[in-house]
Amino acid sequence: MSFQAFLPLFAGLLRILSLTLQFGGILVLVYWSSRQLSLYLNPLRKLPYPPGPPSRDFISGNARDLASGHLWFTLTAWAQKYGNVMHLKAFNKDMIVISSLDDAIELMEKRSNNYSDRPYIPMTDLMGWSFGTAFKPYGPVWHAHRRLMQQMYKPATSLKYRPIQTEKVHDLLVGLLDSPEDFMTHIKTLSTATIMAIIYGYQVAPKHDEFQVLAEEATEAICESTYPGTALVNILPFLSIVPAWFPGAGFQRFAQWSTGLVNRMVNVPYEYVLTGLAAGTATPCLVASLAENCKTEEDHTLLKEWAATGYVAGADTTTSALGTFIYAMATHPTVQKKAQEELDRIVGADRLPNFDDEASLPYVQAILREVARWRPVTPLSIFHATNSDDVYNGHYIPAGTTIVPNVWAMTRDPTKYKDPEEFNPDRFLNADNELNDDEVTYAFGFGRRLCPGRHMASATVWLSIATILSTFDIRPPKDAAGMDISLADVKHSGGLISHVVPFECNITPRSSRSKQLVVDINDSK
């Protein structure tokens, strides 16, 4: 074929290239013009962002750096280099990482009217998790949820739940005596059984209960899907329209699977209570007491979503904290011995600890605080978002910015916590062996998003810690030669809620008397 035959093709390609360049030029001009206009209309945009790491590339910014499951390690290392208030960019999304408690208090508490929103995370909607109070945007629906939570979970009201908490903690002791190798299963059962009894009046089976498994699977799914780097759709929301069959749309198929779990988790326990109310057989519980006042479908939806939020949040966070406690005791025998000496001195060997002993057991309380600090349940909390533009220390924080509270970095502040990687409850006691003012409240969130159920959750964990230490010894496993197997390499998982990965340990009664106390619990049922 002659050269002249290709000329029409070349001409067509040149026209396409010319049009592309012209179109690109127009886009650049529009972008530049809009930027100049926005600078004119909003002088704050002339201020610099807080310092931060350089972008990996022009388009995605730091997006690829955010894909780590243990993102808090990366962010904490960056904070040491770029500062405690740090700016990141993921495509067109601004993120501010706060790694100092003082800065977190200044922004998310003192300026809470601007820092209490939630960023839009498409996967929460795709997976059916928009019901969750923690994920709802700041507005009337969230306020309605919050009012209900504050009413039901405030400290004075939470005292009513202590008989249920005591019963379920005692069940945990029986499980540890019968099958100590299944300690994580027993902890999960305690966590789910307590919250299910309080909210729904439902009695969870000791093992393989439907609602326990349901909460575990649904929570694991959302914990793996909320960070910006875990799914591209979280950074590029328009991808949510991509159909599930499209190549690369695995996130859609995962979301469809999760939606089925979430729908069951939200609806089935609620219907269980309504059915009992209709039949006159409902067990007294929060949903039963509140459902009778629901007049409209909106009232039922609010109550159902609120209840499901408490169900899933309370179960998984308590499991995380108690898993860390068991691990800490297996690896820190000196701490365990000191706590047991306090318990023996105050409680004695003839009864189990109860909530009335709490004020007299400061070291046990210090262990609870150190568990929350040493391995925080939510190392990056739950992200906040700004409602409007702001300026902090001369730096520009735009409206709609995702705010990342780096709780992990706050727990590692060497100016506040000496040797932060060491598990040391003494850091919460003063010279007179009294508790200091550091209650590690930041582990439960910030400002108007502070977890309203923290008092009830802490009570369950405290009683569990006190009764386990009073009745059992926790030791590392043994090898064939009878030597302790090191647990130093045991890690914690990534994601929204961090758990200690599965490990083995030996849990045995401290004495024949402590064993009998647990046996008596079982015999009294």
The SS3 assignment for 90 reads strand
Instruction: Check: CB of residue 162 under 8 Å from CB of residue 355.
Output: yes
CB neighbour list of residue 230: distance below 8 Å, 6 or more residues apart: 67, 69, 123, 224
- Calpha distance 516→383 (Å, rounded): 47
Place of tokens 């978002």: 385
Contact 209/189 with Cβ under 8 angstroms?
yes
Cβ neighbours of 30 (radius 10 Å):
10
In angstroms, the CA 170 to CA 166 distance is 6
CB-neighbour burial class of residue 324 (10 A; exposed 0-12, middle 13-18, buried 19+):
buried
Cα–Cα nearest to 464, from 170, 177, 182, 159: 170
* Cα–Cα dist 25/205, whole Å: 66
Largest Cα span, the chain? 104
Q: Give me the residue label for tokens 């220390």.
A: 393
CA separation for the pair 44, 22 (Å, rounded): 32
Q: Which of 351, 357, 358 is nearest to 521 (CA)?
A: 351
Say which residue the tokens 């995962």 belong to.
254
What is the distance between the alpha carbons of residues 428 and 369, in angstroms, rounded to a whole number?
8
> For the residues of 340-405, what is the DSSP string, one character each?
HHHHHHHT-SSS---GGGGGG-HHHHHHHHHHHHHS-SSTT---EE-SS-EEETTEEE-TT-EEEE
Distance from C-alpha of 294 to C-alpha of 301, rounded to nearest angstrom: 9
Distance in angstroms (rounded) separating the CA atoms of residues 468 and 509: 9
- 451 annotated to bind ligand: yes
| Helix-then-strand count for the chain, H and E | 17, 8
**DSSP classification of residue 59:** T
Q: How far is CA 86 from CA 29, 255, 387, 496, in A?
A: 30, 31, 19, 20
Beta strand 402-405 pairing with 93-98: parallel
Q: Which of 374, 369, 376 is nearest to 328 (CA)?
A: 374
How far apart are alpha carbons 46 and 43 in whole angstroms?
6
Annotated binding site: 451
Feature table: binding site for heme: 451
